[in-house]
Amino acid sequence: MTSTLIAGNWKMNGLARSIGELEAMIAGRSEVPDTVDLLICPPATLVAAFALRAQNTGVSIGGQDCHAAVSGAHTGDISAEMLADCGASHVIVGHSERRADHGETDAVVRAKVEAVWRAGLVAIACVGETEAERDAGRAVEVVERQLDGSLPERATAANLVVAYEPVWAIGTGRTPTVEDVASMHAAIRLVLEKRFGDDGGAIKILYGGSVKPDNAATLLGVDHVNGALVGGASLKASDFLAIAKAG
């Protein structure tokens, strides 16, 4: 793997004035190795302004979700084409908060990945088990099923990133052991290679869930961890840059 992706998911946080935080990230970009790609996914209301500000800075901007259709009677939704039109390069799809809060199934997520590709953008498809599923010894089986159902054919290293985010590690300060991360990422790699051949070996697999400056180097050092999807710690430029420097 030639590069690492450190992606920030701002979730439902950020107002117009938060562009100052993006500017601090851009200012600190030069201290982050060239082999580390930076991506910030602000709420949809900020994508256009952020993308304009981040042009040619080495920080990319993405969306957090999209509708599967190009356009139409879907009040409140936005399409992948609209995100592309605003200057987004990536779209997160199938985050566990979307799956839980909006009942998104693997089939829905798969249609959204197709929509992201239709718009010419990179999909970051999220998978991850709940605590009950892990306790029942079913974590790998659950994630494999989510991958099977959520990833369309035609995935390549250029159009897809997979994010493994154990639901119980999100926003809790808890992380899986290095051994658990290693075995899950190896299992995901196997699924990707079986389905997508050589490309499956090159598709980035991010770890997400309570990534912080003090655990980033350890998590990013695990085999088949090709970057991080960062929630809370991506809201502050100093924390996000500290994580990126560990990449």
Provide the binding-site residues for ligand 13P, judged by CB under 6 A: 9, 95, 165, 170-171, 208-211, 229-233
Note whether 152 and 113 are within 8 A (CB): yes
Residue 31 known to be catalytic: no
Least distance to ligand 13P, CB of residue 163, Å: 7
Q: Which residues contact 205 (CB under 8 A, 6 or more apart)?
A: 161, 162, 163, 164, 185, 188, 189, 192, 224, 225, 226
Least distance to ligand 13P, CB of residue 211, Å: 5
Choice between 106 and 165, CB closer to ligand 13P: 165
Residue with nearest beta carbon to ligand 13P = 231
Least distance to ligand 13P, CB of residue 139, Å: 17
Choice between 62 and 232, CB closer to ligand 13P: 232
Q: What share of the chain is helix, strand, coil (3-state, %, to 5)?
A: 45, 15, 35
Note whether 36 and 244 are within 8 A (CB): yes
Note whether 96 and 143 are within 8 A (CB): no
Q: Please identify which of the residues 95, 104, 129, 224 carries the catalytic annotation.
A: 95
Choice between 87 and 232, CB closer to ligand 13P: 232
Choice between 9 and 150, CB closer to ligand 13P: 9
Q: Please identify which of the residues 129, 165, 185, 224 carries the catalytic annotation.
A: 165
Report the distance separating Cα 65 and Cα 82, nearest Å.
11
Least distance to ligand 13P, CB of residue 95, Å: 6
Helix residue spans in 72-175 (DSSP H): 80-86, 96-101, 106-118, 131-135, 139-150
The CA–CA distances, whole Å, from 157 to 16, 28, 30, 49, 122 equal 33, 27, 26, 28, 9
Residue 144 known to be catalytic: no
Provide the annotated active-site residues: 95, 165
